[in-house]
Structure 1
Amino acid sequence: MESMPYRHGMDTDALRWFQQVADGVTVTEVSELEGVSQPGVSRALRRLETQVGTPLLHRSGRTLRMTRAGSAFKRHVDAVLHQLDDGLAAVNQVVEPDTGTVALAFQVSLGAWLVPDLLGSFRSERPQVQFTLNQVRDEDVATVLAAGRADLVLCTVRSQDRDVHHRRLLDEPLRLAVPAGHALAGRSQVRLTDAAAESFLALPRSASLRLICDELCRSAGFVPTIALECDDLHTLRGLVAAGLGVALLPASGRPPAGAPVERLRYLDLVDVRAFQEIGLLWPAERQLLPAAELFRQHVLDRGRAGRLVPTS
Structure 2
Amino acid sequence: MRPMHLRFSYDAEVDESDLLATLAPRLRQFTAVARTEHMTHAAEAIDVPQSTLSRGIARLEHDLGVALFVRTGRAMRLTRAGRTLLRHAERAVAELDAAAREIDADADAVRGRVALGFLHTFGAEAVPRLLREFRRTHPDVRFDLAQGGNDAILERLRAGEVDLCVTSPPPPDPGLVTAPMYEQELRLVVPAEHPLAVRRDGLPLAAAATAQFVGYRPGFGLRSLTEAWCREAGFVPRMAFEGEDGETLRGLVGAGLGVALLAPSAHRTPGTVELPVTAPRTARMVGLVWVADRPAGPAVRVFRDFLRRSGPALLAGR
How does the TM-score come out when normalised to structure 1?
0.72
Could you give the per-residue CA deviations for residues 5-55 of structure 1, whole angstroms, max 9, x where no partner exists?
Answer: x9668156369x7xxxxxxxxxxxxx9xxxx83747xx99x9495375357
RMSD: 3.9
Please show how residues 291-310 of structure 1 align to structure 2 within 5 Å: 291-303=299-311, 307-308=313-314, 310=316
Could you give the per-residue CA deviations for residues 254-300 of structure 1, whole angstroms, max 9, x where no partner exists?
Answer: 5x35xxx4321110011211012211111222221111111100100
DSSP 3-state at the match of 1:98: coil
Contact persistence 2:130–2:315 (CA under 8 A): no
Q: 1:291 to 1:12 in 2, by over 3 A?
A: farther
Q: Distance in 2 between matches of 1:199 and 1:80?
A: 58
Could you give the per-residue CA deviations for residues 135-162 of structure 1, whole angstroms, max 9, x where no partner exists?
Answer: 2332222332233221111111423333
Please show how residues 60-75 of structure 1 align to structure 2 within 5 Å: 64=84
Fraction of identical pairs, as percent: 31
Please show how residues 168-179 of structure 1 align to structure 2 within 5 Å: 168-179=180-191
Identify the match of residue 159 of structure 1 among 156, 171, 187: 171
Identify the match of residue 235 of structure 2 among 222, 232, 236: 222
Letter in 2 for 1:191: P
Contact persistence 1:156–1:276 (CA under 8 A): yes
Identify the match of residue 115 of structure 2 among 80, 83, 103: 103
Please show how residues 227-306 of structure 1 align to structure 2 within 5 Å: 227-252=240-265, 256-257=267-268, 261-303=269-311
Q: Distance in 1 between matches of 2:188 and 2:29?
A: 65
Contact persistence 1:103–1:131 (CA under 8 A): yes
Q: Which has the larger radius of gyration?
A: 2
Paired residues in the alignment total: 269
Q: Distance in 2 between matches of 1:265 and 1:59?
A: 78
State the 1:130 CA deviation. Answer: 2.3
Aligned counterpart, 2:214: 201
State the 1:199 CA deviation. Answer: 0.7
Identify the match of residue 104 of structure 2 among 88, 104, 121: 88
- Unpaired runs of at least 5, structure 1: 1-5, 18-30
- Unpaired runs of at least 5, structure 2: 1-19, 43-52, 69-78
Please show how residues 9-28 of structure 1 align to structure 2 within 5 Å: 10-11=25-26, 13=28
State the 1:108 CA deviation. Answer: 1.4
Identify the match of residue 124 of structure 2 among 109, 112, 137: 112
Contact persistence 2:169–2:284 (CA under 8 A): no
Q: 1:309 to 1:128 in 2, by over 3 A?
A: closer
Q: 1:83 to 1:282 in 2, by over 3 A?
A: farther
Identify the match of residue 137 of structure 1 among 146, 149, 174: 149
Q: Which moved more, 1:182-191 or 1:286-295?
A: 182-191
Contact persistence 1:107–1:155 (CA under 8 A): yes
Q: Distance in 2 between matches of 1:52 and 1:270?
A: 79
How does the TM-score come out when normalised to structure 2?
0.70
